[in-house]
Structures are given as C-alpha cells and as structure tokens.
Amino acid sequence: MSRRKPDIYERQKQIHNQEYGRSPLLKEQYPEVTDLIVEMSFKKYDNWGSNPEPRQEKYSQESKAFFKIACPHRECVSGGFDFSSAIDELVTSHLDKLDGTMTCQGWQDKERINKNHCFLKLDYTISAKYNNDS
C-alpha cells in the first residue's frame, strides 16, 4: 500500500505547523515584552484575487513567538509575511510602534508557479507593551 504524496498546500501547512511548534514563547524570546499587536491591511495586486479584510494578531507572554502569517489568498504558494525582523527591530530599539509595508512573494496558485507572483501588499503597524510601561 503506497502513501499518497501530500499536495503543495498540505506540505505548506505541515511546514508552517512544524515551525510554529518549534517556536519559543514570547516571554522566552522577548522577556521584556508583555504584549504585541500586529495590525494589518491588505491591497491586492493588479486584478488577481480579492482584497482581504484587515486583521489583527495579538500576542501575550504566553503566546508562541511565531510571527509568520500565511498569505490570505488561500491558493497562494510559498507566500505569506514574516514579521520576525520587524518585531526584532521594534524590541531591540525599545519602540512602542513600528509601521511598514511588505509584499507577498508567493505564486498566485500551483498552476502559475514560476509565472505569476501573488504580490499582495500588506501595510502593518506593530505595537508593543513592555514590563516597565505603566
């Protein structure tokens, strides 16, 4: 009996879940941080896909310090957004807020790999609260 090879979307989810599982808690990675909030708004590229609704991710000290967000376009392959560097910059500089923009570098779907990038644009604001904040 042969096992079915996972499709590209199942494999993406497996990798995401494995990385999440290996991530430390926020209090372990950034002991001085009590809360993080990532606010996101999206703007589609060209005429492909929809304009996803804005969203917010909240992290407490007991949350995993896993800052990769899957692309909201479900069919996107190898895309998404990684806030790790931005959050590291925010905490290292002891900033309360950091704004930025990212663009999804994934592929629109499995039929368009190496042909059409997703290019979904994400504007974000990351807010942090620290142990010594009142």
> For residues 104 and 82, is the Cβ–Cβ distance under 8 A?
no
User: The tokens of 58 are what?
Assistant: 């909240």
**CA-CA distance, 8 to 121, in Å (whole number)?**
23
Contacts of 14 (CB under 8 A, 6+ apart): 6
> Two tokens at 26?
């926020």
For residue 111, the SS3 value is helix
Each of the 134 residues of the chain gets a pLDDT tens digit; together they read: 556 656 877 887 888 888 888 999 999 999 999 999 999 999 987 766 678 999 999 999 999 999 999 999 988 899 999 999 999 999 999 999 999 999 999 999 888 888 888 999 999 999 999 997 54
From CA 105, how far away is CA 118, in angstroms rounded? Answer: 6
Single pTM value for the model? 0.84
Where would I find the H helices in the chain? 8-22, 26-29, 84-92
